[in-house]
Chains A and B, each alone.
Chain A
Amino acid sequence: MKEQIQSSSPTAPPTEGVRQETKSAVKDAFADAWLAKERGAKICYTYVLGPIELLRSFDIHLVFPEISSAQMAAKKTALPYIQKAEDYGYAADTCSYVTADVGLYLSDMKHPLGRVPTPDLVLNDTLCNTYYKWSEITQDFHKCPIFTLDHPVRMARKNYPYDLEALYREDRAYVVDQIERLIATCEQLTGQKFDMDRFRANLDLANRMGALWCEIIDKTRNRPSPFDAVLEGYNYMGGATTLKGTEEGVVYLEKIKGDIDQRIEMGVGPVPEEKFRLLWMSAPCYPYFRKIPEMFHKAGAVFVYTPQFMQPTRGTYRMQQYDLSRPLESYAECLMDYFHARNPRKPPQWSMGWVGGGGEIDNQLQLMEHFGADGIVYHAIKSCRMNSGSLADFREHVSRRGVSILMLESDIADPRFFSEAQTRNRIDAFMEGLAEKKLLRSQSVGHA
């Protein structure tokens, strides 16, 4: 984590406060989890877009397996864990977040940041199909129950031979039904009665965090961008997810916002002179978290957005808020609508290309325009079909629309799939191409 949270550039103003906040948010979560287990609290493993606000209203302690694996990778400690899982039988093609986590199970739960408690419940959801397998694996190891919170996915079509609005209402009722069952499960697990006011208060905090987050991620529209969406953005996101639906989370994001505003005022960004602005698609390569963005920084390029920024809000910069007057329904809607354009009633936000059809391409072009970007970097993650499955197709379509695209390949947690020389060469070539394109464009503008 240390690597991730250091300031990315000598040009940025001191950010020690925010760095420490992020560092302790994530690190404390590990220590807190163990202490919580010791004092008898129930431990729930849930994935990053799970129903955090609801679980928090029961004093259930949350452990995020993805953040745990990402931390291992960022600290360059994931490989021995992954290898342990491979020795146990897992294939190298399995999601490396999963194998890193299995390695943890096989290491007496000793994580580089502290001992991780075993789960009393695994809460699985529909964001990624690997979650289903991951939760089954966790159950095999820890013999804990699994609760699946399922939110149907609907495909965007040109016309609908069924009533889309009615379908949405029925799907929402299906999700609400499950939320109610989840509440009953949590009541049984903790012996604690569900407190709607407390849940509502958590939603209110989530709304405040969401609003702040949306402001923060839109600030990269400034020139120069005050922060790098990969190098700093993912750190902010890790902290915001860990603290989601809490007072600390609000304070944390306010500090980040203050820090960024200060940078904007000073006119400084991650690089001394911002020459190019790029979008980053898909998750980072955590084992080389710092190295890859820095290769871009050398050429004066800064990442201004990644669609994964929707993670802490379950929305986009066009985020929607929880409606506190109808908390369960509104919660169901946010689970259904977030992130993947699961709801074709709205324009695609970021769907990894599996429900939005052709709308995905327009969405990316809109993002380019909104953030004033010069190109897109697709990061194909070897062991994550979820993030990477459509990138090659996107490249075909988006590049046909005149956008400069670079496809990088590595992995989310496994350092063996990163070649520094190859990556550097590809980035250099891409940046040269972008520079040339920019020059040509400025010349043609000059002629006109």
Chain B
Amino acid sequence: MKTIDEIVQSCRETIEDNSFTTVREWKKTGSGRKVVGYFPVYFPVELIAAGGMLPLAIFGGGSRIAVKRGDAHMYSFMCSICKTTAELALGGQLDFLDLFVGHPICDAARHMPSLLERNTEGLDVDLLYYPGSIAADVAVPYLRREYARVRSLLEAVCGHAIPDEAIRESIREYNDVRRLLRELYDLRRRSPWLVSAVESYVLTRVGTLMPARDYAPLLREALRLFPTRDHRRIDKIRVVYEGAFCEQPPIEFIRALEEACYVVDDDFLVGARFLNDDVAMDGDPLLALAEAYCNHSTYCSTQHDPRRPKSNGLIAKCRAADAQAVILSPAKFCEPGLDDQVHFMKRAEAENMPNLQMEFQERMKDFDNVRVQTETFAEALLFYA
């Protein structure tokens, strides 16, 4: 029986392995196994899994990769996740993928599928096009149709039909995973001294590269073990972190924040938690997934929904987490994140919610600045409190 620290440590090793050893092994252990990679933020992983394939989120190479090809093929002022994803693909590290699907979620990411197509012989590439405005009446029927196209694409990869029933079963498994992730975040909001932001990050991320049926028991075990810890509450401010919906900061960055505050909620890996509720399991599963995406999803900087300003979502998140402040920190060169940072900042100011602004980059190596800024911010808040 592993301790919770051992579980987290082994998940961390898995997510930091740019060779995707566990995924390659999964592929080898059964005949005809296929892996479908997708670019963040969100993908209806249920469709991939329903075909008996492994959905794999490609979050770039993090800080553990030297970018050479990425720099040669991509323009300087592009966010890091695009460059390191290109680096992985062009360096052959994604050669085990049977299909890569990108999304035109932003001006940087829209270049990715074509760029990979030009440079990675043998890698099958396509894109999933989400509706421009999820508020439009036409959005759900459109997306249902788009999911049907993606199903055909996936059927061509796995070599057999993906029936509705298999998708419903897959939805059931992922509903389970989403419920467990909600529990993890609930626990962290209630008792951040029992589960840190780094730990919840690692546990969420590992789920983006393993089958749901193996992942759910792991989450269940972690949720059983966290409350048994003998950790005590200490006097730290409670903050919500916002900005890492796509590119992810290094773990050391999250740790540096946590030295000074309890990060009680965040948007790390938000694609894994994109749908707020269980997806309906009766009726047309593609329609249920489309409906969930358009009408029961979280807000996100790469999603356009004129029904609700994104800051409504952020403020609601801060209130639900009883946060005293918000850290607004998009990835460097990330236009959607940088633009929304101002939208969030102005709203936070209007709501008298103290906020700290900074940028991060997945490849950053020095965290002293992050530490100092967060400490100073936290101290000022504690002092004024």
Convert A132-154 into 0s and 1s, putting 1 for each residue whose CB lies closer than 8 angstroms to a CB of B: 11001101100001101110111
Instruction: Add 12 more A-B contacts to A360-B114, A393-B115 (CB < 8 A).
Output: A129-B107, A129-B302, A133-B335, A148-B132, A148-B133, A150-B132, A152-B142, A162-B152, A351-B114, A361-B118, A380-B75, A383-B77
Residue B161 interfacial (CB < 8 Å) = no
Task: Using CB atoms, name the residue of chain B closest to A149.
Answer: B132
Query: CB distance B132 to A358 under 8 Å?
Result: no
> A357 and B114: CB pair below 8 A?
yes
Q: Would you call A94 and B133 a contact (CB within 8 A)?
A: no
**A396 with B72: in contact, given A128-B107, A389-B107 (CB under 8 Å)?**
yes
A121: min CB distance to chain B, Å = 11
Whether B285 is near chain A, meaning CB under 8 Å from some CB there, is no
> Could you give, for residues 311-330 of chain B, a 1 whenever the CB lies within 8 Å of some chain A CB and a 0 otherwise?
00000000000000000000
Binding site for B on A (CB under 8 A): 88-91, 93-95, 98, 124-126, 128-130, 132-133, 136-137, 139-140, 145-146, 148-150, 152-157, 161-162, 167, 170, 174, 177-178, 181, 351-358, 360-361, 380, 382-386, 388-393, 396-397, 409
Which of chain B's residues has its CB closest to A134's CB? B339
Contact with A along B349-367 (1 / 0, CB 8 A): 0000000010100000000
Evaluate contact between A90 and B136: CB separation under 8 angstroms. no
Q: Is the CB of A132 within 8 A of B132?
A: yes
- A98 to B, closest residue via Cβ: B339
Contact status B145-A170, CB under 8 Å: yes
Q: What is the bound-complex CA distance between A93 and B78, given in angstroms?
A: 10
Q: Tell me, rounded to whole Å, the shortest Cβ–Cβ distance linking B11 to chain A.
A: 33
Q: With a 10 A CB-CB cut-off, give which of B108, B309, B310, B359 has the most chain A CB atoms.
A: B108
In the complex, B24 has a CB within 8 A of chain A: no
Contact B111 A353 (CB under 8 A): yes
Whether A129 lies near B110 (C-beta < 8 A) is yes
The 6 closest A-B pairs by CB, nearest first: A150-B132, A161-B156, A389-B111, A148-B133, A357-B117, A385-B107
Chain B residues engaging chain A, CB cutoff 8 angstroms: 71-78, 104-108, 110-115, 117-119, 125-127, 129, 131-133, 136-138, 142, 145-146, 149, 152-153, 155-156, 301-302, 304, 306, 309-310, 332-333, 335-336, 338-343, 345-346, 357, 359
CB–CB B138/A388 < 8 A: no
Asked if A93 meets B75 with Cβ closer than 8 Å, knowing A129-B107, A355-B114, A358-B117, the reply is no
Q: How far is the CA of A397 from the CA of B73 in the complex (A)?
A: 9
Residue pair B75, A148 in contact (C-beta under 8 Å): no
Which of A130, A152, A157, A357 interacts with B335 by CB under 8 Å?
A: A130
Partner of A93, one of B152, B333, B343: B333
Contacts of B105 in A (CB 8 A): 129
Check A396/B73 contact, CB under 8 A, given A146-B306, A155-B127. Answer: yes
User: What's the nearest-Cβ distance from chain B to residue A26, in Å?
Assistant: 26
Q: Report the number of A-B residue pairs with Cβ-Cβ less than 8 Å.
A: 179
Q: What chain A residues lie within 8 Å of B78 (beta carbons)? A: 385, 389
**With A133-B335, A181-B137, A360-B114 given, is the CB distance from A385 to B77 under 8 Å?**
yes
Tell me which residues across on chain B come within 8 A of A150, comparing CB atoms. 131-133, 136
A322 to B287, CA, bound (A): 34
Q: In the assembled complex, which residues on chain A have CB atoms less than 8 Å from the CB atom of B142?
A: 152, 174
In the complex, what residue of chain B is closest to A417 when comparing beta carbons?
Answer: B77
Let me know if A388 and B77 touch, CB within 8 A: yes
Write the nearest CB–CB distance from B48 to chain A, whole angstroms: 15
Sample of 22 A–B contacts (CB below 8 Å):
A89-B345, A90-B338, A93-B338, A94-B335, A95-B335, A98-B339, A124-B133, A136-B343, A148-B304, A148-B306, A150-B136, A152-B129, A157-B126, A161-B156, A178-B136, A181-B138, A354-B111, A354-B114, A357-B114, A380-B75, A390-B115, A392-B73
With A128-B107, A129-B106, A384-B107 already in contact, the answer to whether A393 and B132 are too (CB < 8 A) is: no
Give, as a whole number of angstroms, the nearest-CB distance from B192 to chain A: 29
Chain A residues whose CB sits within 8 angstroms of the CB of B155 once the complex forms? 161
B115 closest partner in A (C-beta): A393
**Chain A residues closer than 8 Å to B153, beta-carbon distance:** 161-162
Is there an interface contact between A360 and B131, defined as CB atoms closer than 8 Å?
no
Q: Which residues of A contact B152 (CB under 8 A)?
A: 161-162
Determine the distance from Cα of A355 to Cα of B110 in the docked complex, in whole angstroms.
Answer: 8
The interface centre, meaning the residue of B107, B131, B149 with most chain A CB atoms within 10 A of its CB, is B107
Using Cβ atoms and an 8 Å threshold, which residues of chain A touch B336? 129, 132-133
B335–A153 CB distance below 8 A: no
B77 touches A382 (CB 8 A): yes
A154 touches B107 (CB 8 A): no
> Bound state CA distance, A128 and B127, in angstroms?
16
The answer to whether A90 touches B342 (Cβ under 8 A) is yes
Q: A130 vs B310: C-alpha distance in the bound complex, in angstroms?
A: 16
Looking across the interface, which residue of chain A has its beta carbon closest to that of B155? Answer: A161
- B135 CB to nearest A CB, Å: 8
Q: Is B115 a contact partner of A132 (Cβ separation < 8 A)?
A: no
Q: How far is the CB of A338 from chain B (nearest CB, A)?
A: 16
**Which residues in B have their C-beta under 8 angstroms from that of A409?**
76
Q: What is the CB-to-nearest-CB distance from A130 to chain B, in angstroms, rounded to a whole number?
A: 6
Q: Which of B71, B107, B119, B343 contacts A137 (CB 8 A)?
A: B343
Q: Of B126, B156, B302, B357, which contacts A155 at CB under 8 A?
A: B126
B73→A393 contact, CB < 8 A: yes
CB distance from B287 to the nearest CB of A (A): 15
A88 to chain B minimum Cβ distance, whole angstroms, is: 7
The CA-CA distance from A392 to B70 in the complex, in Å, is: 10
Q: Give the complex CA separation of A130 and B108 in angstroms.
A: 10
Q: How far in angstroms is the closest Cβ of chain A from B284? A: 17
Give the contacting residue for A353; candidates B115, B138, B306, B345; CB below 8 A.
B115
On whether the beta carbons of A89 and B118 are closer than 8 Å, the reply is: no
Residues of A within 8 A of B310 (CB): 136
Distance of A181 Cα from B136 Cα, bound (Å): 10
CA distance A352 to B114 in the complex (A): 10
Complex-state Cα separation, A178 to B125, whole angstroms = 29
Residues of A within 8 A of B74 (CB): 389, 392-393
Chain B residues contacting A167 (CB-CB under 8 Å) are: 149
